[in-house]
Structures are given as C-alpha cells and as structure tokens.
Structure 1
Amino acid sequence: MSAAAQSSRRVLLVPPLFDEMNRMRKMLVDVMRALEGLEVGSFLPDLPGTNESLIALEQATLSDWQAAIQACAQQHEISHIASFRGGALTVAAMDKASHWIFSPVKGATILRTMMRTRVAADRESGRNTSLADLTAQAETGPLELAGNILGSQLFTQLNAAEFPDLENQRIVRLESDNKPSDVKIPGSALWLRAEPDDDPAMSKTIANDIAAWIKQ
C-alpha cells in the first residue's frame, strides 16, 4: 500500500461539469498522480448521471449531486474538498469542510456556453434556434446540450446556482483571470480548448498548492 493511501492527508476532488470534465480529465489524473508523490491521498467520484453511474443524466438534479458529494466525503471521512470549475456548485451545503476551489463558475454561465454551442450547431444544420427557445424547452422537458440530456429540474437548479461563499475556502484562479482570488497560478484554461488537453506544469502547481493547503 502506498504512503498516500495510508496517509491521513486526503482530499476529495470534485470534477468540472459536462464537456469541461472531458477537456480536463487528463489534468485531473495528473493532479492525482502528483498528489500521490506528495503523500496525499485523493478520490475522484463520478457524479450521478455521469460515466459509470446507474442513473441517466436526464434523471439527475443538482440536489442529487450535492447529496452524493457530501455522502462520499462522509463515507471516506474527508474534510478537505478540491472543486474544479462548476464542480464548486455541488459543495454549497458542505460549510463545515475546508474548500479549495479552482476557477469557480456560475451555473448560468455553464448553461449559456452550452446553449450557444447548440444554437451554432443548429444554424449549421439549417435550423433557427435561440437561447430563449432552448430555455423554454428546458422548462417543459429534457434538453440536449453538447451531447448531454438535461432534465428540467437540473436545468432550473443550475441556472439559479451561484458558486458558494464558504467559511473555509481558498479560491485559485489562473494568472490571466482578473476575478478575485486568494492565489493566482500560471497555466492554461483547458476548459476552453476544442479538444481534451493537458498542462503538466499547471497540474503539478495545483497538486503542490493543494498539498500545502492541507498542511495548514
């Protein structure tokens, strides 16, 4: 058994949402490997409705995601949570935990980006679709965005979701981001890439910062 697996220093990683998770998957794996070398254990759960989940995304809600992350942390007795991008929206109820949050984003921003992609794709197919059209559709039934089938409740909850202001939190952003943060790091906005990519130097910096934060 590795030193990281036996260590009392452990962190639960909460992934980004939807296609941002696909673009950042390699980075998250690299962060976990770097944490292993720093003797920090880490977990990366699947959210309900994603990857190997037994339920369809169409049936999942933001409330389900929040309950699942909280249950996972309790099961593994982890009090340190590292959330990435929209993953921060799933930890709003965990005010007693310590939170490391990377480039948090509002739920409405995530949805708007996905809807614009859908509008552009529809236009290329000869269909005229607007953001208002898609929002109206989501209010009455499932909506497909970027290959994801979102139920009405998930869409509504995400559209209203702000990233939480938690008591024990460390907000981390890229140096190129002018939004308020506790620390800035060099790196690439991988969630904006057209295809999945990585940034080994950024992954190492993230792991080092998480490990130092846990020691505090």
Structure 2
Amino acid sequence: MTLAPAFVFYEFADRKEFCLHVTAQSPRRVMLVPPLFDEMNRMRKMMVDVMRSLHELEISSFLPDLPGTNESVIALEQVTLSDWQKAVQACAEQHQISYIASFRGGALTVADLPSANHWIFSPVKGATLMRTMLRTKIAADRESGLTTSLAELAARAENGPLELAGNIIGSELFAQLNAAEMTDMPSRRIVRLESDSKPSDGQIAGSALWLRAAPDDDLTMSTAIAQDIAGWMGQ
C-alpha cells in the first residue's frame, strides 16, 4: 500500500496553515520548504516522493503550505517575503524541527532560522525568479498581440499587484524578492544537479523539473535526494 501523507497545521498570523506530514517511528524530523510560484506546482509530486523515501529511512518530514499558496485562506497579493520567512520559522518552532531542507526559491524563506541546520537544493536568487516570470509574461502578451517590456512590467509592479504566471504578486513581495539572496548560514549544505557547474557541496543525477512545461517527477532523483538528506542528518 502506498504511504499516504496526512495534514497537520501550524499557527501563523492568527490563522492555521496546512502542513503535509509523513510520520516515521523515529525522533528525527526535517522540514521541506518548497520552491516558489509555478516551480512549486511542477515539483510538488517530487517533494511528496522525497517525503515517502525519507519515511523508508525512518525520518519524519513536514511540507508546509506557505501563506497565500495551496490551501491558505489569505490571498497571495497580500503576502510578503517577510511573511513567508516568519511562517517557515513558526512551522519549524511549533513542530520542533531543527533540520530544514529548502528547494530552489524556498531557500529565500529561511532567513529567520540562522541557527538551524540547512540543506539546500539548487538555490536561486529572487531576481532570477522574477526575471524568468516577467519574460514568460512578455511572451504570453506577445501571443495575445500585446507588446510589453521588462521595464514596463517592473514599473507596473511597483505601483500595484501584477499577475505573473497565474500568480497575483503584490508590490512589496515583488520588491523584496528582487532584492533577495540566500542567507549565509553557519550550518549549510548546498546540493545541485550534476549538470549544474555552480559551486556546491554535493551533486545529484536528475532532471530540472522546475523547467518542465507541466508537473512531473523523477523517482530516482527523489530517492537520491532523500538519501543525501539522511546522510546529512547523520544516518
């Protein structure tokens, strides 16, 4: 029988936010922080596969919904990067988690957890994420017969919410992400794909699922990620 993750909650800003949870018969636990925006959707299946593999390695895992995403009751356009950072901190503290595995842009949300142990998969700057989404918007506008530019869209985002890849992003979130880079943590392991030449502490064979046109998985990569996390946690 396939292991079915369950939902638990964490309290943030007088609300309950959902958190997917897989329980193992072990005190070891890790929180997985998802990628941001459309990358989150493309990699959701992979993240759940990682959680199932971690269970086989006797590690409990938590995958929180960031405010404004998935089942959250607050609108994304009302959320800031600071909110995401405080929410991730709240989830970790309430579930007593000191090991944090963040993926892609999720690494930008862990700034309020400097004393935790951080495992980071293929981190990306906030400006890079925003630029990619802006270019996607420009391409979509062009197909609709409209002409827009990076500068025009950025100016629009400074004055109000902007729709990018199906996400309504508020001005503050847009500005904070454009300035956001991964925080230098005392205890940190950075892992990248074998095809990525950027500096890292380890590499994993697999696919850049965040570049796919639709959600997909890579079970071999998910298993390798879980094993690397387990080794990092000291199995």
Give the structure-2-normalised TM-score.
0.89
In 2, Cα distance between equivalents of 1:165 and 1:172: 15
Q: How many residues align?
A: 214
In 2, Cα distance between equivalents of 1:26 and 1:183: 23
Q: Deviations over 1:152-196 (max 9, x none)?
A: 000000000011111100000000000000001100000001111
In 2, Cα distance between equivalents of 1:74 and 1:6: 20
1:54 CA drift (Å): 1.4
Aligned CA RMSD, in angstroms, stands at 1.1
* Structure 2 residue ranges without an equivalent (≥5): 1-21
1:89 maps to 108
2:14 maps to none
- Runs ≥4 residues deviating over 3 A: 3-6
Higher-RCO chain (CA-CA 8 Å, sequence separation at least 6): 1
1:198 maps to 217
1:50 maps to 69
In 2, Cα distance between equivalents of 1:6 and 1:184: 29
Identity among equivalent positions (%) equals 74
* Structure 1 residue ranges without an equivalent (≥5): none
1:140 aligns with 2:177: no
In 1, Cα distance between equivalents of 2:143 and 2:204: 38
1:25 aligns with 2:44: yes
Give the alignment partner of residue 106 of structure 1, picking from 108, 125, 128.
125
- SS in structure 1 of the partner of residue 24 of structure 2: helix
Give the counterpart letter for 1:128 in structure 2. T
Give the counterpart letter for 1:63 in structure 2. S
In 2, Cα distance between equivalents of 1:209 and 1:111: 29
Give the structure-1-normalised TM-score.
0.97
User: Which residues in structure 2 correspond to 1:130-209 (within 5 Å)?
Assistant: 130-209=149-228
Q: Which structure's residues are more often helix, by fraction? A: 1
Q: Which structure's residues are more often strand, by fraction? A: 2
- SS in structure 1 of the partner of residue 64 of structure 2: coil
1:128 maps to 147
Give the counterpart letter for 1:103 in structure 2. S
Q: Deviations over 1:67-90 (max 9, x none)?
A: 000000000000000000000000
